[in-house]
Structure 1
Amino acid sequence: MASTAHPLMVGQVLQSNSTHYTILQFIGEGSFGEVAKCWADNSSSAVAVKILKKEFLQDIEDEVSMLKTIGSLNADNINVVKFYEQFQYLGYNCLVFELLDVDLSHLVCSIKVHNIRPIAEQLLVALQGLKSVRVMHGDIKPDNVMLADIDEDPVRVKLVDFGMASSFSAICPGMILQPIGYRYEGVTLNNFCVFMKCMVEMLGMPSKYHLRFGMYSQRFFYPRRKLI
């Protein structure tokens, strides 16, 4: 089936300076473009090739910069996806990664309770690894947590998609990060009154610490007056 974001088709060969990648199938699509499962001639194995739309040139430069920074670490040890190379084909920017299985959002309704802890522990290791090179992921959600091989190990996960990652030095107070449905309450104190109202109704009031130091707390909450 032909891709909707570009003229590439199954069976087409993408050529980089190091090897040829034959498109086997398209396995994902997002606002950035598409992900194709490809056969890499140099390694005789399947890989995932992220094909970005032409308007995302600056975004891919930022993402590659973050991936190279993370590349100084062992991807397996810190539970992040392996990045192999970047190349251009017919004007499209392509990023090559190891091929993983399915993302966590496909299993969120069927995942067993006893599997939650090992998955959470792996993600904490990933975050610790990113912290060591001063990188923030910026888009953690079930879609960006993938099982490496569900048949071999049903709880082995890796963190993927560093398209919104930033170095610590680029982060400043008040930045809007993460999709709203997965947004941490300390970040949400920047905006979205209705969302905050629903969160409070379900989870209760934010802590005094967050209310005190949230840059926009007064947009959502009135200070409690002392009774005489």
Structure 2
Amino acid sequence: MTIGVSKTGLPGANTVGIALFATALPAKESTGAMLLLLIVGDMLALWLYRRHADWPTLLRLAPSVLVGLLIGVAFLALVGDTGVKRTIGVVLLLLVALTLWRRRRPDPDGAIAAGRGTRTLYGSLGGFTTMVANAGGPVMGMYFLASRFSMKAFLGTAAWFFAIVNLAKVPFSVGLGLITPTTLAMDAMLVIPVLVGAAIGRWAISRLSQRIFDAVVIAFTVVGAVYLLF
């Protein structure tokens, strides 16, 4: 349900799902099990918000995201479960701190987020974290907040970003043995809760102000980071 909610209304809510999956399954296997459900959520988000994407932002992010994905594949092949979780937790907390600090500075047009260095940092970390733990949502959420996107621009840009990236991750996940017949059977039973969550997220987004929306994204990011650390 948290996956559905995160895709249609409250970005970052799936950090709770990441924590739950990592509790029920070994950390690496949990990423493969979650991936296919995330793709279902991506398709729902595209159906709702496909017209609101900021394509120039997506195109500028593409090179650094690809680099991050490839580093993530190597990391998964070499590092154990505990190392994966703690690395992601540290990265998320640092990004929250960085984003909150930058949002205190006057930047009405998102000029800070548009800088090449910032774009490279967030894009590469987004690719890396989404590959190793499906945790790219909080990272890119921080970037989109720094860009000062409206709620619909945020959701539309995120929908296209993760639909493309998550589909690109499937061959790597199969090659690493993270997607198996067992995970496919489990995911088939969990599609309905994703759809229910998507309906809840769609209902919630129509009732949130921009200020509360931003605060929710940050709060979910911190919760997910603390869980992964401890």
For the aligned pair, the TM-score class normalised by the smaller chain equals under 0.3
TM-score, normalised to structure 2, is 0.27
Structure showing greater radius of gyration is 1
TM-score, normalised to structure 1, is 0.27
* Structure with the largest fraction of strand: 1
* Structure with the largest fraction of helix: 2
